[in-house]
Amino acid sequence: MPIIGKIKGIILRMFFGDHTPPHFHASNNEYEGLFKIDDFEMFKGDLSTKDQKEVKKWAKSRQSKLKDMWDSQDIQNID
């Protein structure tokens, strides 16, 4: 699974051809969360509230690029 970014010990990834809804994965050493691209809601996982806030902050300014990557499957690091 390609890494699309890293923030404060959290690794952000996106799978090629993954299931809907459009989303990305965020994980640290122990926990993971799946975040919808359209509203950044964590719909699965156990990532801490603090880490969720960091992920949402990171994703907000990159939403357009995240949507483009999901649609095109041209997944790249957008740190």
Encode pLDDT of 25-65 as tens digits. Answer: 999 989 999 999 999 999 999 999 999 999 999 999 999 99
Residue 79 lies in a domain: no
Q: How many domains does the chain have?
A: 1
DSSP 60: H
Residue 45 lies in a domain: yes
Please, which pLDDT band fits residue 14 given cuts at 50, 70 and 90?
very high
List strand residue ranges (DSSP E) for the chain, in order. Answer: 3-7, 10-13, 23-27, 32-36, 42-45
Residue 78 lies in a domain: no
Domain limits for position 24: 3-72
What pTM does this model have? 0.94
